Amino acid sequence: LRVAHLLCGKEMGGIATVLFTLIREKKSFSDLIIIALKKTELTEEISRRGAKLKIIPAGFIINPVSLLQILFFIRKNRIAIIHTHSVFPHIYGLLIKICSPKMLFVAHVHADIYRELISNVSSPLKRKIYYFASFLGLRVCDAIVAISGAVRTDLIKKGTSPQKIRVVYNGIDVEKIEK
C-alpha cells in the first residue's frame, strides 16, 4: 500500500524524527511519499535524504486549489493511505476523506492541538475554527496514532473514540546519539 505523509512543512522535533526514521528504514521509496504544504528546511532535508517529496503550497490556510492539487496527486500516484502529522494536515485529511471516502486516513497526534494553534494562528476566531475542524478530522479518520498515554487521554477527554487511538511512542534519533 502506498502511504502519503501530509505535513505543513513547519514540523520539527518528534515529527521530524518519525519521518527521518521512516526514510532511513525504507529500502525502497516507491511506497513512501511525503506531501508538504510549504517548502522549509525540513522539506529540503527530506529531499536530500532521497524520499519522494511533493510540495503543494498552501501555507497556514485551507486553500481549495491546494486541496484539488493534493487530491489529483493522490489519485495519480495511487495512494491508499493519507497519514497526517499536525493541525492543518488533519483538516486537509478531513477534506480528503470527504472527497475520497475509500481513502484510509490516519492522524498522528504529536502534541496538544490547541497549543499548536496558539503558536501558529494569531486570530482567536481562526484558532477556534481550525480547532473545531481539526477535531472533526480526528472524528472521521480511520485511526489515530498518539505519541504518549497523556496525548491519548487528552484526546479521549475531548471526545475522540478510544477504539481508534493507538499509542506509539516517538523513537530516538539514533544518528544523533551515534555522533
pLDDT tens-digit profile of 19-54?
777 777 765 555 788 899 888 888 888 888 888 889
What φ, ψ does residue 117 adopt, rounded to 5°? -65, -40
The stretch 117-122 carries a mean pLDDT of 71
Band of residue 176 on the pLDDT scale cut at 50, 70, 90: low
Q: Where are the alpha helices (DSSP H) in the chain?
A: 14-25, 41-48, 64-76, 87-99, 113-120, 124-140, 149-157, 174-178
pTM of the model: 0.85
CA separation for the pair 179, 169 (Å, rounded): 23
Average pLDDT over residues 112-126: 75
Query: Please, are residues 2 and 33 in contact by the beta-carbon 8 Å criterion?
Result: yes
Structure confidence at residue 118 (pLDDT): 67
pLDDT digits (tens, 9 = 90+) for 76-112: 999 999 999 888 889 999 999 999 999 999 999 987 7
* End-to-end Cα, the chain, rounded Å: 34
